[in-house]
A and B are shown apart, each in its own frame.
Chain A
């Protein structure tokens, strides 16, 4: 999937603007952003439900344009945030309807395989209205798998699910990735993106960052070491000055320091020696870790500060 300078406006309101990224075959691509950032509108646009205002895209190898809508939709699946099941139909009947809409061969076999993939084969004949929210979400996921999509769009797939159901969805996403399905995952759960996604994009109307979660952390945050001692240093400035590579240091709390370094692996041994020479009792020295959540919040907070009030 290749997206180049794609924009969507509703009148004067900008849903998303100048969005560009590429998603490789078999990649799990996370799409993060605050509410109203344009994530769902992007999915709907790439899924041919909405026409872009400008820009171009190729989805499942097909150019995004109105004439190619049915061809693109036959190669992709979109699982919206709300399952959107027919509640007076059974799980199997829901899937049968969609199998016929896709004009799939071997409908019965596909339905059974899709339900088995989400662990719902035994509930095939239950009315969807009688299923819990988590089970409905799984039926929706089975529906999205029916046509063996080349690209699978998952819009908040674990929203409202309990931890066990969330784990099941995560395992399923992993299995699909192993089968070579390209997955475009929209989520608010940053730990989910960090765990499942090969790369993520952070969107806030425009794309703010695209990359591997680990690379984004490095790109956005300086690297550092967290030092914890049994007692405060008498003269921390002179101690830290003895270790080459330390760019900056700050006291976080009594006995705890954060030092900014270019290369933690190179600096850590020198720092340990300097601390020992100063007679400090070292409890721990570890590289500072920043989660994807830190990256996300940093970007979103920056955007909030930049916006005029």
Chain B
């Protein structure tokens, strides 16, 4: 099988056009939800008592940063959960499946359509958070936020957590017959990687570059394997006939 980026790109372009005209995606997933997830951790930053111990300061910052990572877990899981079962409900999946497109091309197009906006929004929100910390937070708090380890965890794990959420969301979407059920299941299933990040943020696992890179590599492998697993789960016959 020769993978075609033209076909995967067709799905990506179609999805992005669709998002742009979808009020739920624009208003809720791309605006309200990110705002909530930048306001709460920023307020927390300002409420930190600078005379507290270094360990407690790190814990408080860890909680704020964890909030930031819920966003790349949650947004793509909602979008990915809709990707297959949503098209089935709308009756748009069958025409797509009658083209020469391979399942992998469809899945990569769908995954990129959830990945690109989710990671973009997550990085923008993280940038706003860092800017607020640099400008408004106490210098002690700001310098703790700008620690290399914190930045590395955030930058590295944002796309990897999003990748996990996307493949879980698409996987669920290929197997259930209802959009709401798909979104609920995939929202819960998107959270496990955050446990590792939480342990690092709270210094339960002492973060280091080596450990962060190691865990990121593991998550990357899981994301890559998940793609193949989801591709194997993508059963055209079941998608066309099940639940009808």
A residues near B (Cβ < 8 Å) are 10, 44, 47, 49-51, 70-71, 73-74, 76-78, 80, 82-89, 93, 96-98, 100-103, 127, 140, 143
Q: How far is the CA of A98 from the CA of B99 in the complex (A)?
A: 8
Assess the A86–B99 pair: CB atoms within 8 A: no
Assess the B95–A80 pair: CB atoms within 8 A: yes
Q: Which residue of B lies closest to A69 (CB)?
A: B100
Query: Which residues on A sit within 8 Å (CB–CB) of B91?
Result: 80, 82-84
Query: Which residues on A sit within 8 Å (CB–CB) of B96?
Result: 101
Give the 10 A-B CB pairs with smallest separation, nearest first.
Answer: A100-B10, A101-B99, A70-B100, A74-B100, A88-B21, A82-B91, A78-B98, A84-B95, A84-B91, A97-B14
**B11, B22, B240: which contacts A44 (Cβ < 8 A)?**
B240
List residues of B (21-65) whose CB comes within 8 Å of A's CBs. 21-22
- With contacts A10-B241, A88-B22 known, is A80 near B94, CB below 8 A? yes
Assess the A97–B13 pair: CB atoms within 8 A: yes
A-B contact pairs, 25 of them (CB 8 A): A47-B98, A49-B94, A49-B240, A70-B100, A70-B101, A73-B98, A73-B100, A76-B98, A80-B98, A82-B91, A84-B90, A84-B94, A86-B18, A87-B90, A88-B17, A89-B14, A89-B21, A97-B10, A97-B11, A98-B99, A100-B9, A101-B99, A102-B100, A103-B100, A140-B95
Assess the B92–A100 pair: CB atoms within 8 A: no
Q: Which residue of A lies closest to B7 (CB)?
A: A101
Q: Decide yes or no whether B236 CB sits under 8 A from chain A.
A: yes
List residues of B (79-113) whose CB comes within 8 Å of A's CBs. 90-102
Q: Which residue of B lies closest to A87 (CB)?
A: B90
Q: Decide yes or no whether B6 CB sits under 8 A from chain A.
A: yes
Q: Decide yes or no whether B203 CB sits under 8 A from chain A.
A: no
- With contacts A49-B97, A80-B95, A82-B91 known, is A103 near B4, CB below 8 A? yes
Q: Which residue of B lies closest to A93 (CB)?
A: B17
Assess the A86–B14 pair: CB atoms within 8 A: yes
Q: How far is the CA of A88 from the CA of B13 in the complex (A)?
A: 13
Query: Which residues on A sit within 8 Å (CB–CB) of B4?
Result: 103
Assess the B237–A88 pair: CB atoms within 8 A: no
Q: How far is the CA of A86 from the CA of B22 in the complex (A)?
A: 12
Q: How far is the CA of A87 from the CA of B101 in the complex (A)?
A: 21
Assess the A49–B98 pair: CB atoms within 8 A: yes
**A50, A85, A88, A101: which contacts B10 (Cβ < 8 A)?**
A101
Query: Which residues on A sit within 8 Å (CB–CB) of B92?
Result: 84-86
Q: How far is the CA of A98 from the CA of B22 in the complex (A)?
A: 21
Instruction: Given A49-B97, A70-B100, output 7 extra A-B contacts at Cβ < 8 Å.
Output: A10-B241, A50-B237, A84-B91, A84-B94, A85-B92, A100-B7, A101-B10
Q: How far is the CA of A96 from the CA of B90 in the complex (A)?
A: 19
Closest Cβ–Cβ distance, residue A42 to chain B (whole Å): 13
Query: Which residues on A sit within 8 Å (CB–CB) of B13?
Result: 97, 100
| Listed residue (A73, A93, A96, A101) with the most chain B CB atoms within 10 angstroms of its CB | A101
Closest Cβ–Cβ distance, residue A115 to chain B (whole Å): 16
| Listed residue (A77, A86, A143) with the most chain B CB atoms within 10 angstroms of its CB | A86
Q: How far is the CA of A143 from the CA of B4 in the complex (A)?
A: 20
Closest Cβ–Cβ distance, residue A94 to chain B (whole Å): 8
Query: Which residues on B sit within 8 Å (CB–CB) of A74?
Result: 99-100
Assess the B95–A49 pair: CB atoms within 8 A: no
Query: Which residues on A sit within 8 Å (CB–CB) of B237?
Result: 49-51
Q: Which residue of A lies closest to B98 (CB)?
A: A78
Q: Which residue of B lies closest to A41 (CB)?
A: B241
| Listed residue (B11, B22, B98) with the most chain A CB atoms within 10 angstroms of its CB | B98
Assess the A49–B236 pair: CB atoms within 8 A: yes
Query: Which residues on A sit within 8 Å (CB–CB) of B21?
Result: 88-89, 127
Query: Which residues on B sit within 8 Å (CB–CB) of A100?
Result: 6-7, 9-10, 13
- With contacts A86-B18, A102-B100 known, is A50 near B6, CB below 8 A? no
Q: How far is the CA of A219 from the CA of B68 in the complex (A)?
A: 75
- With contacts A49-B236, A84-B95, A103-B6 known, is A70 near B102, CB below 8 A? yes
Q: How far is the CA of A78 from the CA of B93 in the complex (A)?
A: 13
Q: How far is the CA of A297 from the CA of B11 in the complex (A)?
A: 45
Assess the A89–B18 pair: CB atoms within 8 A: yes
**B11, B98, B101: which contacts A77 (Cβ < 8 A)?**
B98
Q: How far is the CA of A76 from the CA of B9 in the complex (A)?
A: 22
Q: How far is the CA of A127 from the CA of B21 in the complex (A)?
A: 10
Query: Which residues on A sit within 8 Å (CB–CB) of B22?
Result: 88
Q: How far is the CA of A195 from the CA of B4 in the complex (A)?
A: 42
Q: Which residue of B lies closest to A77 (CB)?
A: B98
